[in-house]
Structure 1
Amino acid sequence: MGQSHSELDDEVALTHIQERYRKFASECPSGNIDLIEESAYMDNVFRSFDANNDNMLDFMEYVAAVHLVLRGKLEDRLRWTFKLYDRDGNGHLDKKEQKQIIYNIKRHGNPSETENLTPDQFNDRIFDPVDKNKDCKV
């Protein structure tokens, strides 16, 4: 009489994995992530999960990372994404930090009317209107 809860979870997980694979294959056609190209991003990802800043992920940090990515609430994932790009950890994004986001959007995002803008122009278009007090921080 229908699928059990476990079967539905397995089906959802398989669909999720298939979607992730399609995205991975489109971004990494060789089937591999180039460590040199992705190292700055991966450093940020690692740092964002290294809660005690010891340059190692212990088991609890690893479990927290997996849980956040796979099952975390939207607000928690948004907070993590902010922390990911707040490289100096000061609680603000400056233009340099936001520029890294722009590079990632332009590299992995969908084409739009901003496609012909340089990353600096794209960054200014986003940053300037939200930097209300002109302190170069969001």
Structure 2
Amino acid sequence: MGIQGMELCAIAVVIVLFVAVLKQFGILEPMSMEDSSDSDLELSTVRHQPEGLEQLQAVTKFTKKELQSLYRGFKNECPSGLVDEETFKLIYSQFFPQGDATMYAHFLFNAFDQERSGAIRFEDFVIGLSILLRGTVHEKLKWAFNLYDINKDGYITKEEMLAIMKSIYDMMGRYTYPMLRDDAPIEHVERFFQKMDRNHDGVVTIDEFLETCQKDENIMRSMQLFENVI
């Protein structure tokens, strides 16, 4: 998988990798006839009981049947109803055995673990997935900004963006041809900041991020790629 142009389309990289992993592990599968039933979520076999379907329908853009299908896949992979960071890393390491997915999984886990509880609940998972797959452009970009803003101070620094880029290269680099140079992540970050840092103060704000992304045709196209995967 090539990753050229990531400095402008990293949100697409996030969606591509996340959707690919979910499909590989059976969490995003076409709904079967069984999924078309109107029964509520099965809760008896899990230790964490998610919110009811009505509540989740109200805060996501999934139908009741889609939520049922998603929950079955989530429960199959996570019988306890919770995913901790080590499990998240294990899933990604299995999907990318020739790379090191540790840091990428860490950053993505933190983006889903909004309450910093150390575990991703089904509610956390499905709300984040709803944004990535069905959210507005503005919602998707805000989610991506939150991923890059590692310390959650409202700014993306070069150090934060470099950490994200290195994590993607560590995970994906061996799959690219030709092989990427060691300084490629730094070059991507510099191009990212040349494009995003409109006032040249060394950080990217949410307003700068949103404005620049919404003017980029490649990023706008990437926002629409996965709206109908389930």
Q: Could you tell me whether the CA contact under 8 Å between 2:158 and 2:203 is conserved in 1? A: yes
Q: How far did residue 119 of structure 1 move?
A: 2.5
The alignment partner of 2:156 has SS state of coil
Distance in 2 of aligned mates of 1:35 and 1:77 = 29
2:184 to 104, 115, 118: 118
Q: How has the CA–CA distance of structure 1 residues 58 and 131 changed in structure 2, closer, same or farther, with 3 Å as cutoff?
A: same
CA shift, 1:78, in A, is: 1.2
1:6-55 Cα offsets, whole Å, 9 max, x none, are xxxxxxxxxxxxx958xx8xxxxxx8233971121111111111121111
SS of residue paired to 1:37: coil
Per the alignment, in what secondary structure is the counterpart of residue 89 of structure 1?
Answer: coil
Pairs within 5 Å for 1:1-138: 20=20, 32-34=95-97, 37-103=100-166, 104=168, 118-128=184-194, 130-131=196-197, 133-138=199-204
Tell me what 2:28 maps to: none
Structure 1 ranges of 4+ moved more than 4 A: none
Q: Which has the higher contact order (CA 8 A, sep 6+)?
A: 2
Q: Could you state the TM-score of these two structures normalised by the residue count of structure 2?
A: 0.38
Contact 2:107/2:164, CA 8 A, preserved across alignment: no
**Amino acid of the residue matched to residue 55 of structure 1?**
G
What amino acid is aligned across from residue 81 of structure 1 in structure 2?
A
SS of 1:93 mapped into structure 2: strand
SS at match of 1:54: coil
TM-fit CA distance, 1:72: 2.1
How far apart in 1 are the matches of 2:103 and 2:198? 29
93 and 70 in structure 1: CA distance in 2 versus 1, 3 angstrom threshold: same
Q: 2:38 is matched with which residue?
A: none
Structure 2: which 5+ runs fail to align? 1-18, 25-93, 205-230
Q: In structure 2, how many angstroms separate the alpha carbons of the residues matched to 1:45 and 1:38?
A: 11
**Letter matched to residue 101 of structure 2:** E
Letter in 2 for 1:122: H
SS of equivalent residue, structure 1 residue 57: strand
- Which structure carries more helix by proportion? 1
**Structure richer in strand, relative to its length:** 2
- CA RMSD, aligned part only? 3.7
| Closer, same or farther: CA 101–47 of 1 in aligned 2, 3 Å | closer
Runs of 5+ consecutive residues of structure 1 not aligned to the other structure:
1-18, 25-30
- TM-score, normalising length: structure 1: 0.58
